[in-house]
Amino acid sequence: MAYTPIWHSLNETGTHSAPVYSEHERFEIRGHFAFPPQHLLDIGCAQGSVSAALKRDYPELSVWGIELNTEAADIAQQRLDVVSRLPLTEQTPNELTELANIDTVLLLDVLEHMYQPWQTLQFLSHHLAKHAQVIVILPCVMHINLLHDLSHGDWQYQQWGSLDVTHLRFFTPYEMRKMFYETGFKVESVSHQVLQTEANQSFSADSVYPQWLEFEHMKLKVRDFEHWYDLHAVGLIFRIRIADDNELSADEYALRHSPHRPTLAFGG
């Protein structure tokens, strides 16, 4: 079979020419709800499969979906109550008024596709009700497999996954948290999406740390079990909510107001 570069799948706007949307219903997010959703905003709802499943579980639930892909939005429109085809920040005044009634927002593998994810989060923190819960899933580029490939000089974009060729922003667990706090939110729960392999099953919370992970071109010191989780997570699931400074711990306050910690990268 002839080789076709991955970028051939992109159109002039930098999105997939023929996107394939999963019908996965993302049952894992249910454990992060602080309360049953009643009025939900699903940003980047695709064909509406996740919110449609939630509507089956919560019969009184009303869902407002936002989807920029016209074909996907047309399908979502048949499943959800309302579907908008414009970015959140370009909604009409009447639609923005509805944000005050939203109690749950879904941002599932969406922020990494935005030029300005910080702006979207800040917009939400300025318009949502204080009690609203926001569920976020983000891919993690701190995953040990990506670091291993990078040590070989490889950063290969893919059709989907952590290096989806349409991703514009990349985050580690620390940078995810810092983004949330800087834009007016507080992390209330987090879980790591870890793929179990033979290589990582020997590590556990009871293991003695620090431990070493060794690869052909790389040796990594794992400080503790939390560090191990960060290195093995393909993605993280968060529940965040709006929080004022006086609701933050000292460490959270520093995340919001202090500069990034020192790095070796150029340009800092």
SS (H, E, C) 50-117: HHHHHHHHCCCCEEEEECCCHHHHHHHHCCCCEEECCCHHHCCHHHHHHHHHCCEEEEECCHHHCCCH
Give the list of residues 6+ apart from residue 114 with CB closer than 8 angstroms, or none. 120, 168, 169
Residue 19 binned pLDDT confidence (cut-offs 50, 70, 90): low
| Interior/surface letters 105-123, b for 16+ CB within 10 angstroms, e for the rest | bbbbbbbbbbeebeebbbb
Give the list of residues 6+ apart from residue 13 with CB closer than 8 angstroms, or none. none
Average pLDDT taken over every residue of the chain: 91
Sign of the torsion angle spanned by Cα atoms 3, 162, 103, 184: negative
pLDDT in tens, 81-130: 999 999 999 988 888 888 999 999 999 999 999 999 999 999 999 999 99
What's the pTM?
A: 0.93
